[in-house]
Amino acid sequence: MKIRVSALQMPVTNDISRNVRQICVGIEAAAKVRAEILLTPEGSLSGYRHDFDRGEVAQALKHVTTIARLYSVGLVLGTCYQERGGKCYNQLRFYRPTGEYLGFHSKTLVCGTMAEPPAGEINHYAVARLKVFPWNPHLTIGGLICNDVWANPECTPMPDPHLTQRLATMGARIVFHAVNGWRDGGEASELNWRYHEANLRMRARAGGLWVVTVDNAEPLKLPCSSPSGVVDPKGNWACRAPARGLRFFTHDIVLS
């Protein structure tokens, strides 16, 4: 079985209308190459923040998903979003090409300080249980967000549950991974890049999974915090995007 996936390494900002325009361009590009799924970075719709305009994001989500349905492109869409009940989640939202909504993955290893009690985004986002999604009768997929994969020891107050391997045991064959990482172009950025890449490759291999990963490209003048591309179940790069700038890429994943 073969599935064509695509991803958009885009600059993520707090300007929701700008984000929407870029995502829609990505949807059109995915449709042109007949990709089945488009992955976008962490917070790509709302911006990576908890204090977004709830009504504006809801309208933006409706617009983007309508465009994706019209082009028959499935979405794994990164956004922060307030669900019914008032809880705010840092999400990956899954939609089939028909527009059917399958559900969301919420960032599980939300970042915080190592103090007690921890401060930071850990106090702003709720966490839902880990789940997988039936893409078709023969393929189950999952999602992870940024620190969910690498459990950065500088900002992960909770134990590392090895989420890639947990998704593998739940039946996932492909994991879609959305990133929005910090960088300043200095030595720490280079160290983070190496750590992120090593974790992507090793955890794909440990779980026997394909990993499709994409990062935020903002600021455009700096390399991303993590490589964007596709890692195969042996931990090798099957497809890899340039390290900086707005990039769209596509890859055919062949599943035995």
CATH assignment of 2-254, given 3.40.462.20, 2.60.40.10, 3.60.110.10, 3.80.10.10? 3.60.110.10
**Does 54 have pLDDT greater than 90?**
yes
Q: Which of 156, 85, 174 is nearest to 118 (CA)?
A: 156
Task: Please report the pLDDT score of residue 256 as a whole number.
Answer: 83
CA distance 103 to 147: 20
Average pLDDT over residues 46-58: 97
Task: Please report the pLDDT score of residue 28 as a whole number.
Answer: 98
pLDDT single digits (tens) 194-217: 999 999 999 999 999 999 999 999
The full DSSP string for 53-117 is -HHHHHHHHHHHHHHHHHHT-EEEEEEEEEPTTS-EEEEEEEE-TT--EEEEEEPSS----SSSS
How does the average pLDDT of the chain come out, rounded?
A: 97
Considering the chain, what percentage of its residues have pLDDT values greater than 70? 100
Give the model's confidence band at 182: pLDDT under 50 very low, under 70 low, under 90 confident, else very high.
Answer: very high
pLDDT single digits (tens) 62-111: 999 999 999 999 999 999 999 999 999 999 999 999 999 999 999 999 99
Sketch the domain layout of the chain as residue ranges: 2-254
Task: Please report the pLDDT score of residue 152 as a whole number.
Answer: 97
Q: Name the DSSP letter for residue 188.
A: H
The angle at the Cα of 235, spanning 233 to 237, to the nearest 5 degrees, equals 100
pLDDT single digits (tens) 223-247: 999 999 999 999 999 999 999 999 9
